[in-house]
Structure 1
């Protein structure tokens, strides 16, 4: 396994990233204001968000970028 000391996402699971962003922003609505995608705005859940983000690279990148910007420092 490669070491990635400069990658703040290394070893982070997508569900953990979503949960930490939810805690940081205080729920689905504020998170949906940061990243306006339907999986955060319409009947949001961890499961539905994971399904969408795993199939949609551009949306996953937005979530990962927001995580790095807010929590990955």
Structure 2
């Protein structure tokens, strides 16, 4: 049984969607400036970012925080 997560704004959003939304909103250059990881600064792509973020929890957490910040800013 899958429990509902009403207090989790990331529930049901795939990592690929998060990356695509961030790239559309900020672009790779700004993302690389905000989160200094190679997959954003050197020949960035969604595929390389997904590969890195899926096996690097600290980097994924930073990307999720940037995404939540973007959502919050869009609401205001």
TM-score calculated relative to the size of structure 2: 0.88
Q: Specify every segment of 5 or more residues in structure 1 that has no aligned partner in the other structure, as ranges.
A: none
Quote how far apart the aligned CAs of 1:23 are.
1.1
Once residues 22 and 37 of structure 1 are traced to their aligned partners in structure 2, the CA distance between those partners, rounded to angstroms, is 14
Quote how far apart the aligned CAs of 1:38 are.
0.5
Aligned length: 72
Find the structure with the greater CA-based Rg: 2
CA RMSD of aligned residues (A): 1.1
Q: Which residue of 2 aligns with 1:9?
A: 10
Report runs of 4+ in structure 1 exceeding 6 Å deviation. Answer: none
Using CA pairs below 8 Å that are at least 6 residues apart, which structure has the higher relative contact order? 1
Give the secondary structure class of the aligned counterpart of 1:8: coil
TM-score calculated relative to the size of structure 1: 0.92
Once residues 6 and 33 of structure 1 are traced to their aligned partners in structure 2, the CA distance between those partners, rounded to angstroms, is 29
